[in-house]
Copies of this chain bind each other. A is one copy, B any other.
Amino acid sequence: MNRTEDVLQALDAAEAEMRRRYFDFLRMPSVSAQPDHAADCRRTAEWLVGELREIGFEAAVRETAGHPVVVAKHAGPAGIDAPHLLYYGHYDVQPAEPFELWTSPPFEPTVVEGPHGDRVVARGAVDDKGQVMTWLSAMRAWHQVTGGLPVRVTALIEGEEEVGSPSLDAFLRDNAAELSADIAVVSDTNQWDFATPAITTRLRGMVYAQIDLRAASRDLHSGMYGGAARNPLNLLARILGDLHDDDGRIQIPGFYDGVTPVSNAQAAQWAALGFDEARYLGDVGLSVPAGERGLGALERIWARPTCDVNGMWGGYTGEGSKTVIAGEAHAKLSCRLVGQQDPAKIEEGIRQFVRERLPKDCSAEVRIFASAAPVEVPVENRFIAAAQAVLQDEYGVAPAMIGGGGSIPVVESFKRILNTDALLMGFGLDDDQVHSPNEKFDWRCLTRGARSHARLLGKLAG
Name A's B-contacting residues (CB within 8 A). Answer: 33, 163, 204, 206, 208, 210, 215-231, 233-234, 236-244, 277, 280-281, 284-292, 297, 300-301, 304-317, 320-327, 329-332, 334, 336, 359-361, 369-370, 404-407, 430, 434-436
Q: A234-B240, A310-B321, A360-B287 are in contact. Are A336 and B226 (CB under 8 A)?
A: yes
Chain B contacts of A280 at CB under 8 A? 228
Given contacts A222-B334, A223-B407, A237-B243, 20 further A-B contacts (CB under 8 A): A204-B223, A215-B285, A218-B285, A221-B434, A226-B336, A227-B290, A227-B301, A227-B304, A228-B277, A229-B281, A229-B284, A231-B290, A233-B312, A241-B242, A288-B359, A311-B314, A313-B317, A317-B330, A322-B332, A322-B435
Cβ B234 vs Cβ A309 within 8 A: yes
A218 → B minimal CB distance (Å): 6
Chain B contacts of A329 at CB under 8 A? 312
Chain B contacts of A309 at CB under 8 A? 231, 233-234, 237, 315
Query: What CA separation (Å) do A281 and B359 show in the bound complex?
Result: 14
Cβ B228 vs Cβ A323 within 8 A: no
Partner of A334, one of B163, B305, B310, B323: B323
Report copies per complex: 2
Query: What CA separation (Å) do A301 and B223 show in the bound complex?
Result: 8
Partner of A306, one of B226, B300, B313, B336: B226
Query: What CA separation (Å) do A215 and B281 show in the bound complex?
Result: 11
Cβ B361 vs Cβ A308 within 8 A: no
Cβ B224 vs Cβ A301 within 8 A: yes
Query: What CA separation (Å) do A143 and B432 show in the bound complex?
Result: 78
Cβ A289 vs Cβ B330 within 8 A: no
Cβ A241 vs Cβ B239 within 8 A: yes
Q: A281-B229, A309-B231 are in contact. Are A320 and B406 (CB under 8 A)?
A: no
Partner of A222, one of B237, B308, B316: B308
A94 → B minimal CB distance (Å): 9
Cβ A223 vs Cβ B405 within 8 A: yes
Query: What CA separation (Å) do A210 and B227 show in the bound complex?
Result: 20
Q: Which residue of B lies closest to A209 (CB)?
A: B321
Cβ A221 vs Cβ B321 within 8 A: no
A26 → B minimal CB distance (Å): 21
Query: What CA separation (Å) do A224 and B243 show in the bound complex?
Result: 20
The 5 closest A-B pairs by CB, nearest first: A241-B241, A223-B406, A217-B285, A237-B240, A311-B315
A333 → B minimal CB distance (Å): 9
Q: Which residue of B lies closest to A315 (CB)?
A: B311
